[in-house]
Amino acid sequence: MNRLLSFAMMAGAVAIFSACSGSDEQQLAAQRTQDSLQAVIDAKDNEVNALFEMLNQIEDNLAAISAKYGNVQKLRQRGVEGNINVRGEINDQLANIESMLAANKAKISELNRKLAELGRQNTELQDFVARLEQRMTEQEQQIAGLTAELEQSKVVIRNLNQSVSELTDANAEKEQTIARQIAESNKAYFIVGTYAELKEAGIVSKSGGFIGIGRRQGTVADMPLDRFVQIDRSKVTTVAVNMRNAVVISSHPESSYELVSDENDEKVTAYLRILNPALFWQQTKYLIISTK
């Protein structure tokens, strides 16, 4: 009887131990399941938070793009698109805008991908993303229109610059032509020598005149210009003589010049001074000084 009682007590103890052990395992399994679910919830919450952070970044970029667009319009309204510094500033602003638009498009694409992965039908969130996409599209259209206008302005400016360049070249060529004509018209020639020297040079004739001018036959082309000194009559007012018994044998009004004697020898003519250039060169552009 005692044996049966002892056996019964042992069997009861084993049963109780087994029951307690099974209950602990169930609790552990339940805890593990709860932890896994919480981890999934936390992960989803993190993804949602990341989505909202991305939405905020996109919205901030859109606001910044609008501000930069306004800056570009202000620069254009200053009416100095042809200014190099302003053009550079506008180009920098547009480059920043294009970069920000590209970044926004990438973020929107990532946002849509994450929404699809979450598998949630959040109509409000989807509508908000759609509105962001619409704003981006409008901004892209604005920037495209602005860029087209600026390109057109550049074409106009280039055409104007080309016209100005052509006019400048034409004016420069005209000025050069005028300068050449003036220089040609101001060309004058002089020679100083004894009668024998001038006769040998073929300038003075036997009768005392000189070839090509005055009393002798011939043309200006017959004059041996290589024996003359070329001058600019608009600038030259004195001609060195340094010769005794000098006389001007070319045709110049006597009132238009004077022969100045050497300070140390009155018989020596130091130089000829032109008193009235217009009158002096009125009849001829050749000055010939010889001896009596």
The beta-strand segments (E) located in 4-143 are none
Dist. CA 55–CA 64, nearest whole Å: 14
Give the class (CATH, top level) of 2-179.
mainly alpha
Exposed (0-12), middle (13-18) or buried (19+): which is 14, by Cβ within 10 Å? exposed
Q: Which amino acid is present at 142?
A: Q
pLDDT per residue, tens digit, the chain (292 aa), is 444 445 445 545 444 445 445 566 766 655 665 555 555 454 455 666 666 677 777 777 777 777 777 777 777 666 555 566 667 777 777 788 788 888 888 888 887 777 777 665 566 677 777 887 888 788 788 778 777 777 776 666 677 678 778 888 988 999 999 999 999 999 999 999 988 888 888 887 755 455 544 444 322 346 788 899 999 999 999 999 999 999 999 999 999 999 999 999 988 999 999 999 999 999 999 999 998 7
DSSP state of 204: B
- Size (the chain), residues: 292
DSSP state of 210: B
Helices 2-77 and 84-118: angle between axes, nearest 10 degrees = 160
Residue ranges of the chain that CATH labels 1.20.58: 2-179
Q: What is the pLDDT of residue 268?
A: 93
Place of tokens 């229109």: 145
The partner residues of 166 in beta bridges, in order of sequence, read none
Q: What is the pLDDT of residue 221?
A: 41
